[in-house]
Amino acid sequence: MGIVEIWSNLWSFMASIMFVYVMYGQFLPYNLLEYIEKYTRKLTNIVNPYVEINFFEKSGDSFEHDETYELIQTYLSANSSQNAKRLTAKIVKESKHHETPRVLLTLGDYEEIIENFKGIKVWWLANRTHPKTPNSYEQRFLTLTFHKNHRDLITTSYIQHVLEQGKAITMKNRQLKLYTNKPSDYMGKPKWSHTTFQHPACFETLAMEPCKKEEIINDLIMFSKGKEYYNRIGKAWKLGYLLFGPPGTGKSTMISAIANFMNYDVYDLELTSVLDNNELKKLLIDTSSKSIIVIEDIDCSLDLTSQRKNEEEDEEEEEVVKKKSYNNKSDVTLSSLLNFIDGIWSACGGERIIIFTTNFVDKLDPALIRRGRMDKHIEMSYCGYQAFKILAKNYLDVESHDELFPIIEKLLGETNMTPADVAENLIPKSINDDFQTCLNNLIQSLHTSKQKAEEKA
């Protein structure tokens, strides 16, 4: 008789015992049940060449949800659930603002699936405990079974692989959140409130010089490769951007594109609602990993400038400042903001991108923008020809036009128009407007803008 046969006979014997145990267990005294179970297990262990590892749904003193169990569930749902016949559907509603809930399929009770890892077979069984006393609770758990010869590989590489994949899938599926800070409550505690972040912006539709865009994307990919990679190349694992440029050049759009690309939450920090340094510290500590902390219009929210405004400054600039300044500037100081930001980078393993935006880069304190603190100063400028081509593709689905494109190229070189204004002109104004009408509207508008600039000059 071969070893496999012996094992399968023994297994059916065990199964019969288990059957009797389940059927008549309730009629037997508790001590006797425990005795039978103990010796059945002992007997099984002697001949069983398989190792079992259980992962419980809840663990710890307070019986909390175990993250490991969740990650394995996610991994199995994505990788092997197509082989399972009985599945349990769970509706995941990310937030009250999120209208379409997601369906998460997990293994049904006692469902078993087989996985192959580097040619090694492993079994996963969705199990549940049977409460033995009236006071004990039923608990779900997943059992991983494999041959004892592969113990080392499975307990290290395979489990690691499952958890990493589970984490990656969770990150990919999660609904991004947009956090904004609220003034302190009556307890003096500042708070973040959040809604779902649903902005369609992506790098593909962002209008800017292709090489500049490529550089940022490469930066982000490097950053996402993580700490070890950065250590290896001898660079600090942090990312800070300063986006500057006139209104309507796509600074906020760029932030949304970065959030979507990285799959990071966004913390929009409104400094004017932060009372003092202490509050700022609490808020920053309260941000989660894999997030972007944004401070928009940094020049308007903090008293950063040592120089007073020049009387002869451009009227248009004045207008913007007036629009964006707030009466009540907070007591947050520049030096504490910088300290906390440096602190966040060193203490939190760097999984936070910090982005400042401003319309006037010259007004910022050099300490804030010195190279090394902000890794890149990205100028979002008026619409150039390359940026226009991206907008034309997005808005009109046109990639070239022998006659009109060269005119637009010339005019864009002669006058300043923001991508927001170019985009506005490209949107059809009536149902009969075809793409040529829209391009002509833009040309008209560029002419007007050029004339105005000349008159002003």
- The conformational region for residue 418 under phi > 0 = left, psi -120 to 50 = alpha, else beta, is beta
| Part in contact with ligand ATP (CB under 6 A); list of ranges 66-74, 152-160, 243-251, 282-290 | 243-251
Closer CB to Mg ion, 199 or 282, in the complex: 199
Q: How far apart are CA 448 and CA 416, in angstroms?
A: 11
Asked if 425 touches ligand ATP (CB under 6 A), the answer is no
Helices (H), 333-434: 334-347, 366-369, 385-396, 404-414, 419-426
In the chain, DSSP finds a helix count (H) and a strand count (E) of 17, 15
Instruction: Report the nearest approach of Mg ion to the CB of residue 251 (Å).
Output: 5
* Residue whose C-alpha is closest to residue 97's, from 198, 202, 180, 201: 198
Token pair recorded at residue 277: 């340094």
- Tell me which H or E stretch contains 358: strand 352-358
What angle (nearest 5°) sits at the alpha carbon of residue 178, between those of residues 173 and 182?
A: 145
Instruction: Report the nearest approach of ligand ATP to the CB of residue 447 (Å).
Output: 21
Site for Mg ion in 251-270 (CB under 5 A): 251-252
CB count in 10 Å sphere of residue 355: 25
Of 207, 216, 242, 426, the one binding ligand ATP by CB under 6 A: 207
CA gyration radius, the chain? 31
Token pair recorded at residue 52: 């079992």
List the beta strands (DSSP E) in 186-312: 191-196, 239-244, 265-268, 291-295
Residues in contact with ligand ATP, counted by CB under 6 A, come to a total of 15
| Part in contact with ligand ATP (CB under 6 A); list of ranges 54-62, 183-191, 205-213, 365-373 | 205-213
| Part in contact with ligand ATP (CB under 6 A); list of ranges 30-38, 132-140, 340-348, 415-423 | 415-423
Closer CB to ligand ATP, 66 or 270, in the complex: 270
| Part in contact with Mg ion (CB under 5 A); list of ranges 83-91, 160-168, 243-251, 418-426 | 243-251
Closer CB to ligand ATP, 78 or 243, in the complex: 243
- 252 with 324: CB under 8 angstroms? no
Token pair recorded at residue 139: 């608990």
Asked if 389 touches ligand ATP (CB under 6 A), the answer is no
Of 419, 425, 442, 445, the one binding ligand ATP by CB under 6 A: 419
Asked if 293 touches ligand ATP (CB under 6 A), the answer is no
Asked if 445 touches ligand ATP (CB under 6 A), the answer is no
Asked if 247 touches ligand ATP (CB under 6 A), the answer is yes
Closer CB to ligand ATP, 42 or 322, in the complex: 322
Site for ligand ATP in 353-382 (CB under 6 A): 359, 380
Tokens 């950053």: give the residue. 223
Q: How far apart are CA 146 and CA 167, in angstroms?
A: 23
Instruction: Report the nearest approach of ligand ATP to the CB of residue 252 (Å).
Output: 3
| Part in contact with ligand ATP (CB under 6 A); list of ranges 125-133, 190-198, 245-253, 264-272 | 245-253
| Part in contact with ligand ATP (CB under 6 A); list of ranges 52-60, 201-209, 279-287, 445-453 | 201-209
Q: Using CB distances below 5 to 8 A depending on partner kind, what does residue 380 bind out of ligand ATP, Mg ion, none? A: ligand ATP
Tokens 């589970």: give the residue. 166
Asked if 242 touches ligand ATP (CB under 6 A), the answer is no
- 368 with 299: CB under 8 angstroms? no
Which residues would be at the binding site for ligand ATP (CB under 6 A)? 206-208, 247-253, 359, 380, 419-420, 423
Which residues would be at the binding site for Mg ion (CB under 5 A)? 251-252
